[in-house]
Structure 1
């Protein structure tokens, strides 16, 4: 077990790509949330937006790792209509009492990231120690590395990463 856990949800793979790069940079364990209903097709996309706007948590499969086993947890989500994803909402509602220190990141197509992170922080009942908004096109093109390096550096200053973490990041 490592000292940091990254828990994320990704519908299109963008948040997944960012989460894995951050986990590699920080030497963190990682856990992907699996919703019990699909958000993949056009109807799923509409359901995703509806659930986010209405703040409806999506049922998720049981996770393998428990946040109380880690002194630090990083939560990652895509931004849906200016809100966190419904699977992430469920996870936070289920597990927030087990969070010690929290970092947050989100991926977004255009805007709404800061609002989504504020919403996550409020739901966690914790002020995040580190936070980051990433644009989808930056992640897809590999131009997010500098931002992830800065986030990993912040986590490293908190004693949650190995000293060489920043050198592990490389463009995709």
Structure 2
């Protein structure tokens, strides 16, 4: 079994930056959720907010990596109108029965992170081993690095304690 998979959706690149840094820190495989319809421009932005507010899943292709092959799956999403992104909602609905342990993170321009993390955990029907919400401005100026390191440390502690319990 592989140790860690990080799955994320990113419209603007902010969530992608966090996912890549976390994958590097954890030695994880990385999977970007693709969207069947583009979300560029004003129309894409408005459609994104509308779908998020309505809890409407998006059309996404099948993932490349199988979450059942991993001990830990870390899920990352931007916050849209105080909700998780619709592509992440789709991924969770399609794959949640394959998650063993989860970690969660979100990026946000304003607020809503804790509510989004709670909604993700509820949709997964699992408690996360760790979670973090980051402000977009902190990600863009690299002020998120301490929070990212703490998240990676939490994963290492849980992974090491589980390995010790199996030995």
Give 1:124's aligned residue: 124
Alignment check: 8 A CA contact 2:60 2:87 kept: yes
Q: Distance in 2 between matches of 1:79 and 1:20?
A: 18
Root-mean-square deviation (CA), in Å?
A: 1.0
TM-score normalised according to structure 1 size: 0.91
* Alpha-carbon shift at residue 62 of structure 1 (Å): 1.6
Give 2:103's aligned residue: 103
* Alpha-carbon shift at residue 2 of structure 1 (Å): 3.7
| Pairing 1:45–2:39 present | no
Give the match's secondary structure for 2:159: coil
Q: Distance in 2 between matches of 1:4 and 1:65?
A: 11
* Count of residue correspondences: 160
Give the match's secondary structure for 2:22: helix
Give 2:140's aligned residue: 140
Structure with the higher fraction of residues in helix conformation: 2
Give 2:113's aligned residue: 113
Q: Distance in 1 between matches of 2:22 and 2:82?
A: 23
| Pairing 1:69–2:69 present | yes
TM-score normalised according to structure 2 size: 0.94
Tell me: higher relative CO, structure 1 or 2? Use CA pairs within 8 A at least 6 residues apart. Answer: 1
Structure 1 gaps of 5+ residues are 161-172
